[in-house]
Amino acid sequence: MIRVLHLGCGQSKAEGALGVDINPHSEADVICDLDSFPYPFARNSFEVILCEHILEHLEHVVGAVGEIHRIGVPGGRVVIDVPHYSSTFYYRDPTHKHPFSVHSLDYFVEGTSVRKFHYTDVAFRLLSVEFPPPDGAGLLKRMIYRLINRHIDVYERHFAFIFPRHLLHFELEVVK
């Protein structure tokens, strides 16, 4: 059985996952402050780690990514959803501490130009980064998202504040 951890599960814990949240009124199986390290899990414990709308709330993103790496198995998958810096949803939530760019996680990804700064020794392989279309998006909207994702750097440098996007979706692989 695949071991799945859902960090910051809130009221919508993924089916079959072990849920973690700071809120005792959430669906969490484990109540934990994700800004406190180490997390209460053994090294190499989970094949899949879901981080849906949690990293932007944390004070210590580098420490949290380090813990995600520690508890993920080699070759494990990490799925991260965060708000893009152009999102009005990012700015309207007073609990958000960090917006994200398509390159914000490059500091942890092998082979990227900023990896040399070594805020941490943990390493991931980038499997994908995209702006996913909203559920129920029609054909035209899906085509626009496909175009944005095909030219993601051009979009971010020149069009992000003209056509803001809400959500960034990353998939990473744990490298050990």
What distance in Å separates the CA atoms of residue 7 and residue 32, rounded to the nearest whole number?
Answer: 9
- The token pair at 69 is 């790496």
25: domain CATH number?
A: 3.40.50.150
- The token pair at 31 is 């109540």
Nearest to 76 by CA among 18, 144, 149, 4: 4
- The token pair at 90 is 């990012």
CA dihedral 31, 37, 42, 46 (to 10 degrees): 70
What distance in Å separates the CA atoms of residue 64 and residue 52, rounded to the nearest whole number?
Answer: 13
Nearest to 108 by CA among 121, 127, 94: 121
What distance in Å separates the CA atoms of residue 145 and residue 59, rounded to the nearest whole number?
Answer: 31
Task: Write down the pLDDT at residue 48.
Answer: 98
Task: Write down the pLDDT at residue 93.
Answer: 93
Nearest to 82 by CA among 165, 173, 150: 165
Q: Amino acid identity of 143?
A: M
User: Number of folded domains in the chain?
Assistant: 1
Domain that holds residue 104: 4-175
Question: Model-level pTM?
Answer: 0.94
Tell me if residue 50 falls in helix, strand or coil.
Answer: strand
Tell me if residue 62 falls in helix, strand or coil.
Answer: helix
The distance of Cα 86 from the centroid of its chain, to the nearest Å, equals 16
What string of pLDDT tens digits covers the 176 residues of the chain? Answer: 899 999 999 999 999 999 999 999 999 999 999 999 999 999 999 999 999 999 999 999 999 999 999 999 999 999 999 999 999 989 999 999 999 999 999 999 988 888 767 678 899 999 999 999 989 999 999 999 999 999 999 999 999 999 999 999 999 999 99
